[in-house]
Structure 1
Amino acid sequence: MENASLMPWLAGTALLHSAIVVEKRDALKTWTILLAVLTFALSLMGTFLVRSGVLTSVHAFAVDPERGVAILLLLALATGGGLLLYTLRAASLKAGGLFAPISREGSLVLNNLLLSTACATVFLGTLYPLFLDTVGGSKISVGAPFFNTTFVPLMVPLVAAMAVGPMLAWKRADLPGALARLWVAAVLVVVCVLWALWAHGFRPVMALVGIGMAAWAFFGAFAELAERVRLFRIPLGDSLSRAAGLPRSAWGAAIAHAGLGISIAGMVGTSAWMSEDVRIMHPGDSASLAGYEFRLESVEPAQIANYAAQRGTVTVTRDGQAVATLHPEQRFYPVAKMTTTEAAIHTTFVSDIYVALGGKAEEGDGWTVRLYYHPLVPWIWFGAVVMVIGGLISLSDRRYRLGVPVRRASPAVGGRSAAQPAE
């Protein structure tokens, strides 16, 4: 279900970068228009998937087949109409300026190619099982292994090019020269990888690659700004003056790219270094996980307005110091005759700790307790917030504000005045 929102995000990101080439070089106009149509279509597709009931998920909204048909008709009308107009009018658009493959435009084309391919991969993995089921084929499930095999290899060169692209000149650029200006970022990447190696070892090796890519995106985002203000090559005061004079779009782009690096680090950390433990615990028992000590103090019944619960009390300590007191619950809703598990979560800047209370043991006063430690999960959401902030800063750039045409009165002709648009 999450793919419903990922697809328009990928297409929209490609659209934003393609629009830069249209603005700067008057190129890729037909491709940018096509991306705009497809991005809107994928947004409607996401709405259809979460509203129609064709996908079953806890994240889906209320199922309403009639509403799903209406959204599908809107999708067909908007997409079909947009593609029809595109087919009729695309040939009338003049081609823009030419550019070499190694150039700022070339890097943005590579960006579009990888993002569009990734979007098509997610689209195929999401809708192919539905299509196969509709035509009477066997039911299949496309899970994480498919996306890890197809999606991740596309993201690696995308992140690698993210830091290099802003260093390239328009029309034609010197790639070795651009890479040479990223040596400070490369050194910091090595430092981050060595830290991950010291903290977690070689397992898994791909986690080291992921941390390296995250650091490359983060530090590379600001390397271009440092190059533009000539940091450490001229007096610091002059560099600060140059920084103050940079357009907001430059700051916004760097901040957004840095936010993506933060989110990548969070994804790598929680997928590669998470720890979990499931065990039977009695009141007074303790368990260790990821350097934390969990002690089940008690499990007591509780009656709330619309449900009854068994509420546990778990104290969490680290090196003898109290960290948190968590209260996971097993809830029973008598009206719906439904039992749910409510995990207790303790969040810090660098990790999330989850404790979930399972069923009661068949004998004695033991309970099934699930303990989870997810490092760097908050970085995923923090990076997303940073990306949004970067986008808002870019949008606030005066160069992207379009003035509204103002009509002014022309000199009176024959005793009457006529309004004319201002030049």
Structure 2
Amino acid sequence: MSQEDKIVNVEVYLVSLDQETPYLGPLINEEKASEMGYFVREVNRTVYAIKNKSLVVRVLTENGVEGWGETYGLIAHEATAAIIRDLFKGFIIGRNPMNVVTIYEDLYDLMRVRGYTGGFYHDALAAVDIALWDILGKIVKQPISRLLGGIRNSSIPGYISGLPDADIDKRCQLAVSWQKKGFNSFKFALPMATEGLVEEFKQLRKALGNEASIGCDMHWSKTPGETIELIQEAQPYRPWFFEAPIKTEDVNGLKWIAQKSNGKIAVGEEWRTVFDAKARIDIQACQIVQPEMAHTGITQFMRIAGYAQAHNLTVIPHATIGSGIFLAASLQASASLQNCVAHEFQHSIFPEFMHYTTGDMKCEAGHYQLPTGNGIGVNPTEEMKSNMTLL
């Protein structure tokens, strides 16, 4: 295919990922859904959707190459879709898709004066960036991981994320069931830990044994002082890491926790760019970095991971609700990293929707298998396309 190809269309779709049980687990106590289908978790005061959704972007070139990207569509998806449809599209059409990073930087700069360096704006940019990298890989007939420096690992350790059940006994049983399938790394969500963080560690350690790795996602719900106290109390149960302990804007509080406690602090899922990472890494406020491909796109994912490596930090990418497209992109990028030691596995999401994408991407016996196709390695199946609504 000619490298003089040009982009001729950009489309954005809403994809339903509806499940019987909401993300993280059933509603508890006073939690209830609004008219728009949103509800707030009591522990972290954060909004979630009763029915999961995702935004998928299709970029088409004159020579018929199509690239696929994806970002979050859980909350107010029209905001993200409008940025892609009403703003980005007009500045992408006619561009050479080989100029991936150049296009990314031009789109990023469009709203610099207005300060839109994150949130919905960068989510929209992340989806477009993934799609453009996908096109680049397809044009040169290579997987993205090779274009990012080479494949270091075609198999990446996956950890079981979230144990969406209403009581601690069932959560322990769920963890054990995955341990029997070959997984030995786990993370529970504090909003669903009905008996508290320390008791959750205690019971999971008892159920899973001494060799299992057990982390906790604290969902930005504690103060620095509370976090240090909880980390100390959890030490007998050998915690793996403590994720997102306090409000993300409290950078100095995060530094205090990282330096005053003996727990490993993991952060980064809400970051969009390397500038978010720099603000925390420069002051030694974390030990583990967790870039989320649906927020960063490939370009910033690699910049964040590179900055973490330069500071001798490990990377454990975050991955939440999606159809499999941004997960494939995340695995491609992760496979090229020297400092990636594990990758989140949403066991309640990916297996249920893995038929939405083509290719051989899978997570079995404790490891992800890197998709082997060109670009990001996956494309939407006909079943997924039938469940996509053009916005």
Q: Same fold (TM over 0.5)?
A: no
Relative to the length of structure 1, the TM-score reads: 0.23
Higher relative contact order (CA 8 A, sep 6+): 2
- Report the TM-score when normalising by structure 2: 0.24
Q: Which has the larger radius of gyration?
A: 1
* Structure with more helix by fraction: 1
